[in-house]
Amino acid sequence: MIVKKIAVIGTGYVGLVSGTCFAEAGNQVTCCDINQSKISNLLKGIMPIYEPGLKELVQTNVEKEQLHFTTEIEQAVRDAEVVYIAVGTPMSATGEADLTYVKEVAETIGRNLNGYKVIVTKSTVPVGTGKLVEGIVRNFAPKGQAFDIVSNPEFLREGAAIKDSMNMERAVIGATSDKAYEIIADLHKPFTSNIVKASVESAELIKYAANAFLATKISFINDIANICERVGADVTKVSEGIGLDSRIGRKFLQAGVGFGGSCFPKDTSALLHIAEDCGYDFNLIKAVMETNAGQRTQVVEKLLAPLGSLKGKTISVLGLAFKPDTDDVRFAPALDIIPQLKALGAQVKAFDPIAIPEAKKQLGSLCEYSEDLYETIKHTDACIVLTDWKEVKGLDLVKAKRLLKRPVMIDGRNLFDLDVMHDLGYTYLSMGRPAVYIEKVMVSHVI
Ligand SMILES: NC(=O)c1ccc[n+]([C@@H]2O[C@H](COP(=O)([O-])OP(=O)(O)OC[C@H]3O[C@@H](n4cnc5c(N)ncnc54)[C@H](O)[C@@H]3O)[C@@H](O)[C@H]2O)c1
Ligand SMILES: O=c1ccn([C@@H]2O[C@H](COP(=O)(O)OP(=O)(O)O[C@H]3O[C@H](CO)[C@@H](O)[C@H](O)[C@H]3O)[C@@H](O)[C@H]2O)c(=O)[nH]1
């Protein structure tokens, strides 16, 4: 690999992780952001996100002087040979990807183009954004200044971001020239030997197709789970039975409260808009989104079955993050479900080991927060499992039952064994598995 000077614009989950990994591979990397406090914290060694292994890797590369942080984006662009765009592309009010930040950055790059550079989009962007960025850069760049555009989408998973980036299953590179392709392929040599060379448009679509396919697997198994409940089958067995067929595979077949996070909800919606824009009615993806929304309301319906009304009841919610090992709460099930519980008259106590500060920004005083699992459960009428944190998986069920006012658990992640829950005397309603129903929901002794 030939060492490069790289500017990464946007120091969020993707920019910070990929910038750090490029530095770890020996490149000179400057991560830039418009958010002053994010950059000043990073300069003090304070990470803006929770991601296993990130802090240590940042520290090592800052000490080696291979990783730098700045808000001076113009200078970073001027100094770089490769400029990565890693800003957010959030869901707009109408459901498509909002390209405001990408366009802003393209203008900044254009204005500061002082020699040949490869401009790479890592943000998830609709097909055609490569051309859009090219047009903006050309508009603001000095006349005749050469540059190339590359689409190099990101596939990391939150909670496993460093691992995924240092050891990619594949890299996808769509470039406007062979020269640019070779530069970006060379940068990826330390991370993977599987490189898919595609057009810019194909690379852009690969990202959405990958996320939509995974989301489809989840909604498919959730639909099967809903059928299981009606016919007395167990979705975990169905999932195992189909997943052992290598053509299907076992991954992403865990039924539950539906997918959340910063990517699947927004990217399925953006793909629907991409399809609409080219005159294609993508019914499958509409159904995937619809099934997912339904999984959220189901949890509340399951709670109403044993409790009747929620008025005057207190419910404990186990897990605020959209999945374990992250503090990200974007489109987390808890953000939908806690307001539903409140609207039905319940008081809510919520547990999370890491995501409370992020959740508070969204939910405010809608619930009480605690990092103590058993304090959260204590004196509540029922608990709902929303995130498969290891702390929740390892819950002492005997102790939890003693602390609960009623032994009622709604499990949105299918964490516990049905026989165990039955023998312990829980009313236990999970997703796509037979209900464990204790006829009389007794008020148990609270220690
Ligand atoms: N989070 C993930 O797991 C993940 C994985 C793959 C792809 N993606 C995609 O990558 C992109 C970034 O996602 P993220 O989760 O890292 O977002 P994020 O919100 O965590 O970070 C984006 C950063 O860009 C900064 N920014 C915005 N405008 C800027 C500008 N004009 N100049 C400099 N910085 C600016 C913001 O301040 C923020 O720090 C999105 O398109 C997302 O869909 C995300
Ligand atoms: O069998 C499963 C697997 C996942 N999920 C849920 O699906 C969501 C997404 O999970 P995951 O894919 O692990 O998390 P993300 O960090 O959002 O990663 C996805 O989104 C990223 C952003 O585009 C991509 O880069 C990754 O490849 C893609 O996996 C979470 O709410 C999970 O709880 C399920 O409900 N059942």
Distance 139 CA to ligand 1 centre (A): 24
Look up tokens 């020269």; give the residue.
Answer: 179
Domain holding 378, by residue range, is 199-447
Q: Which atom of ligand 2 is nearest to the CA of 326?
A: 16
What is the side-by-side strand order in the sheet with 408-411?
Answer: 368-370, 347-351, 314-318, 382-385, 408-411, 427-429
Rounded distance between C-alpha atoms, residue 87 and residue 60, angstroms: 24
Residue 361: burial class (beta carbons within 10 Å; 0-12, 13-18, 19+): exposed
- For residue range 350-407, what is the model confidence (pLDDT) as tens digits? 999 999 999 999 999 999 999 999 999 999 999 999 999 999 999 999 999 999 999 9
Mutate to test the pocket of ligand 2, among 122, 158, 223, 257 (most ligand atoms within 8 A of CB): 158
Residue 150 CA to residue 177 CA, distance in Å, equals 9
pLDDT tens sequence across 136-194:
999 999 999 999 999 999 999 999 999 999 999 999 999 999 999 999 999 999 999 99
| Domain match, 181 and 287 both | no
Is the distance from CB of 79 to CB of 112 less than 8 angstroms?
A: no
pLDDT tens for 216-257 read: 999 999 999 999 999 999 999 999 999 999 999 999 999 999
Report the DSSP pairing between strands 82-85 and 67-70: unpaired
pLDDT at 3 over 90: no
User: Looking at residues 28-42, what average pLDDT do you find?
Assistant: 98
> Domain of 30: which CATH number?
3.40.50.720
The rounded distance, in Å, linking the Cα atoms of 188 and 3 is 11
Q: Which ligand is nearest to the CA of 34?
A: 1
Which of 211, 240, 266, 336 for mutating ligand 2's site (highest number of atoms within 8 Å of CB)? 211
224 CA → ligand 1 middle, Å: 34
Look at residues 198, 221, 239 and tell me which one is the last residue of a structural domain.
198
pLDDT of residue 442 exceeding 90, the answer is no
- CB 44: neighbour CB atoms within 10 A? 8
383 is catalytic: no
Which pLDDT score, from 0 to 100, does residue 438 have? 79
Instruction: Detail the residues annotated as belonging to a binding site.
Output: 33, 38, 89, 124, 155-158, 207, 252-256, 260, 266, 323, 330
Return the pLDDT at 342: 97
Contact 411, 346 (CB under 8 A): no
Look at residues 198, 233, 257 and tell me which one is the last residue of a structural domain. Answer: 198
Identify the band that residue 1 occupies on the pLDDT scale cut at 50, 70 and 90: confident
Q: Which amino acid is at 443?
A: V
Atom of ligand 2 nearest to the CA of 210: 27
pLDDT classification of 440: cutoffs 50, 70, 90: low
pLDDT(444) > 50: no
Please say which residue of 134, 165, 198 terminates a domain. 198
Strand-strand pairing, 171-175 and 147-151: antiparallel
Separation of 15 CA from ligand 2 center, angstroms? 18
261 and 298 both lie in a single domain: yes
Q: Based on the structure, what is the number of domains in the chain?
A: 2
Identify the residues whose C-beta falls under 6 Å from ligand 2.
124, 154-158, 211, 214, 218, 252-254, 256, 259-261, 263-264, 322-323
Q: Examine the pLDDT at 195 and tell me if it is beyond 80.
A: yes
Q: Is the pLDDT of residue 27 over 80?
A: yes
User: pTM score > 0.90 for this model?
Assistant: yes
Residue 380 near residue 351, CB atoms below 8 Å: no
- Tell me the torsion sign for CA atoms 30, 266, 169, 204: negative
State residue 90's pLDDT score.
95
pLDDT digits (tens, 9 = 90+) for 60-76: 999 999 999 999 999 99
Q: DSSP strand E in 176-284: where?
A: 195-198
One of 228, 263, 367, 383 is an active-site residue; which one?
Answer: 263
Facing residues of 411 across strands?
A: 385
Rounded Cα distance between 353 and 320, Å, is 9
Q: Which of 18, 322, 393 should be mutated for ligand 2, with most atoms under 8 A from CB?
A: 322
pLDDT recorded at residue 192: 97
Q: How far apart are CA 43 and CA 86, in angstroms?
A: 19
Using an 8 Å Cβ cutoff, are 76 and 10 in contact?
Answer: no
Residues 162 and 297 in one domain: no
Name which residue sits closest to atom 33 of ligand 1, judged by CA.
33
Whether the pLDDT of residue 441 is over 80: the answer is no
Half-sphere exposure of 145 (CA within 13 A, CB side): 20
pLDDT at 333: 97
What's the pLDDT tens digit per position in 272-326? 999 999 999 999 999 999 999 999 999 999 999 999 999 999 999 999 999 999 9
Show Cβ contacts of residue 143 under 8 Å, excluding neighbours closer than 6 positions: none
Q: Do 330 and 191 have their domain in common?
A: no
pLDDT single digits (tens) 120-135: 999 999 999 999 999 9
Ligand 2 mean position to 19 CA, how many Å? Answer: 22
Specify whether 302 is located in the same domain as 436: yes
